[in-house]
Amino acid sequence: MLSINAGPFALAISHLLLLGALITATWVEARLVRHTLSRKTAVFGLFILGIATARIAFVLTYFPQYSEAPWKTLDIRDGGFLVWAGVICALLGGLIIGWRRPEQRRALTFGISIGLAIWVSGGFILDHYQKGNSLPDTTLRTLTGAPVRVSDYRGKPVVINLWATWCPPCRREMPVLRDMQRERKDITFLFVNQAESAGEVSDYLSKQQLVLSNSFLDPDGEFARQVGSAALPTTLFYSPDGRLIGSHLGELSSASLTHYLDK
């Protein structure tokens, strides 16, 4: 499973893992800090510092992709973060706080340690689960009705985008994916529409003047169920031998897509 629906919201499993680690770390620190004179907490503030640092580091690394629309650097919905930079900054902040406030040191250390342990171990399990998933042997349909087996595209890196015409973030990211498909001939891009007719998809692509190679239909959502996607847009990244090595829930920017392809 890559994502779940929680009422009107869709959450990636990786985001739930991070949220769970943060809540646990904050709770542990709050329980321990009650026995100190200051009763100050810092874990949540360090988390915000880490997120901000990770975003800034990402923007600086991929700034050419933001240069034409600098305001998009504030749109964190593209998932553009350099995790290592954020973790290092948060840990340094924790060391400084522990040095300046000795009475807070024990609670802060336990909170950070438990939060990191949950996040790292959960991430390892999730990564192991993802790498165990191979490119499904699902049969899709072309816009003319011809059958196509997804597993036939092994041999090159594969990027699969699950989308629908009624999905606003799907529509916004489509030009980014189209441009990358034109640029990266070493990667196979598949556009898999979810539960819409060939006429609806063809009309939309024609009106938007979107020329896409490998545009397919998943009429019953079978492919989405097999990969564990519960929301749109979802983008999947497969290695040449068909192993799932990454996934992204939500809109991709040029910078975040480049980051995934770099990895």
> What structural domains and CATH numbers belong to the chain?
1-130 (no CATH), 137-260 (3.40.30.10)
- What b/e sequence results for 43-77 when a residue is b if at least 16 CB atoms lie within 10 Å of its CB, and e otherwise? beebbebbbebbbbbbbebbeebbeeeeebbeeee
- What b/e sequence results for 147-180 when a residue is b if at least 16 CB atoms lie within 10 Å of its CB, and e otherwise? eeebeebbeebbbbbbbbbebebbbebbebbbeb
Q: What is the pLDDT of residue 57?
A: 97
Quickly count: other Cβ atoms within 10 Å of residue 209's Cβ: 7
Helix (H, G, I), strand (E, B) or coil at 217: strand
Tokens of 17: 């893992």
Q: What is the pLDDT of residues 55-72, one digit of tens each?
A: 999 999 999 999 888 888
Residue 33, H or E segment: helix 13-33
Token pair 């999730």 in the structure block, residue: 126
**pTM of the entire predicted model:** 0.89
Q: What is the pLDDT of residue 5?
A: 67
Q: Are the CB atoms for 159 and 258 separated by under 8 Å?
A: no
Q: Are the CB atoms for 187 and 261 separated by under 8 Å?
A: yes
β-partners of residue 147 are 141
Spans of the chain below 50 pLDDT: none
Q: What is the pLDDT of residue 228?
A: 87
Q: What is the pLDDT of residue 9?
A: 66
Quickly count: other Cβ atoms within 10 Å of residue 78's Cβ: 23
Helix (H, G, I), strand (E, B) or coil at 116: helix
Q: Are the CB atoms for 248 and 256 separated by under 8 Å?
A: yes
Q: What is the pLDDT of residue 7?
A: 58
